[in-house]
Structure 1
Amino acid sequence: MAGARLEKVGTIFARMNSLLKKNVLHPEDKPIWFEIYALHPPYTEPRYDQEGSAEEVREILYEEDLIRSKLHERVKQYDTINFADHKAETKTQKFISLYTNLKAQGALDDEKIFEIALEQLKSSSKQRVEVLEDEIHEPVDFGLIKSFTEATREAKKDAEEPKDKAPKRNDNSGSIDIKSLF
């Protein structure tokens, strides 16, 4: 059984067991699940030729999933998300909370609630940007982004300035002066 390479021949447990008995696999390299499977085997052994369950798998959809899909259909978001910060809400989470709050108040249809929540989200993000711009009095170092924009400006300036057609030569050695090339 150790030479069987097809999943159709035997179970993974039987193949692993035979590898251990023949000392092809060292006991310290035994998978974690092996002992658990040996102590608590399933009622029916899982085999390739076994008939599947006739039970139909239900779709699990929540109301938030429908709202989220509708939002992402209409609004493309390119925001970065910090997965390490568990307290920060994404725009989608903010939109869903706005939508559910408006829906709890009632008296409007779903499409109107969606539009109002979308407008509130847009206005709150605009206000947040305006507040941040008011708070910033001195230039902020944005690392690579700032370096990239500065490098782009300098490259445009250099492209606009006329350059000498021939590079300057150093009179002493007859070689090209590297500083004059850039």
Structure 2
Amino acid sequence: MATSRLERIGTIFTRVEGLLTRGAMKPDDRPLWFDVYKAFPPIVEPKFARPKPEAKAIRQILYKEDIIRAKFHAQGHGIGINMLSPAGETQVKKLIQQYEKLKSEGVPENELIEKSVAAVSTERQLDAKISPKNPDSVTAQVLAEADLKNIFKE
């Protein structure tokens, strides 16, 4: 059976309005959006035959941290996340802060990433050595023995 092509003739608003004026739909049965649409009609009526809007190029949004972050990820750093401390900062954020600190101190550009990674990793190892709430728990023992960088090399 052939389907109706009324969606090409008018909008859903004009069809509902026609149903209401001719009595095919009771005013109590009108959709919730009908009164809002009637009070605040769109500037351009949404018709089927309306031409597509001109496709505009999406502007690239890059921050200076994105360039630093890309350098860290290109060398395989900055992937670790501390799941035990959700309130803590991510490793990438710490790396960027350390990078900015070393850059302001005048460290050469070619050594910035290595020194940042070394500083953050020593800080991370110190945080890992801090005794947990329950040092006898299995989780605390596994975390104390875990070598996350070399976990897949065995």
Name the counterpart of 1:139: 136
Q: Which runs of 5+ in 2 are unaligned?
A: 143-154
Structure 1 position 122, deviation (Å): 1.0
Name the counterpart of 2:117: 118
Residues 41-83 of structure 1 deviation map (CA, whole Å, 9 limit, x = unaligned): 4433355642433653310111112222332331363535479
With the length of structure 1 as denominator, give the TM-score of the two structures: 0.50
Contact 2:82 2:90 in 1 (8 A): no
- 1:57 corresponds to 2:54: no
Contact 1:95 1:117 in 2 (8 A): yes
Which is higher, the Rg of structure 1 or of structure 2?
1
Rounded to whole Å, the distance in 1 between the matches of 2:46 and 2:126 is 59
Structure 1 position 104, deviation (Å): 2.8
Name the counterpart of 1:93: 93
Name the counterpart of 1:153: none
Name the counterpart of 2:148: none
Q: CA RMSD in A?
A: 4.0
Structure 1 position 89, deviation (Å): 1.0
Name the counterpart of 2:150: none
Q: Which has the higher contact order (CA 8 A, sep 6+)?
A: 2
| Amino-acid identity (%) | 20
Is the partner of 1:57 in helix, strand or coil?
coil
Bigger mean CA deviation after superposition, 62-71 or 40-49: 40-49
Is the partner of 1:102 in helix, strand or coil?
helix
Residues 68 and 17 of structure 1: CA distance in aligned 2, closer, same or farther (over 3 Å): farther
Residues 149-169 of structure 1 deviation map (CA, whole Å, 9 limit, x = unaligned): xxxxxxxxxxxxxxxxxxxxx
Residues 118-143 of structure 1 deviation map (CA, whole Å, 9 limit, x = unaligned): 111111111111223xx67740264x
Contact 1:67 1:96 in 2 (8 A): yes
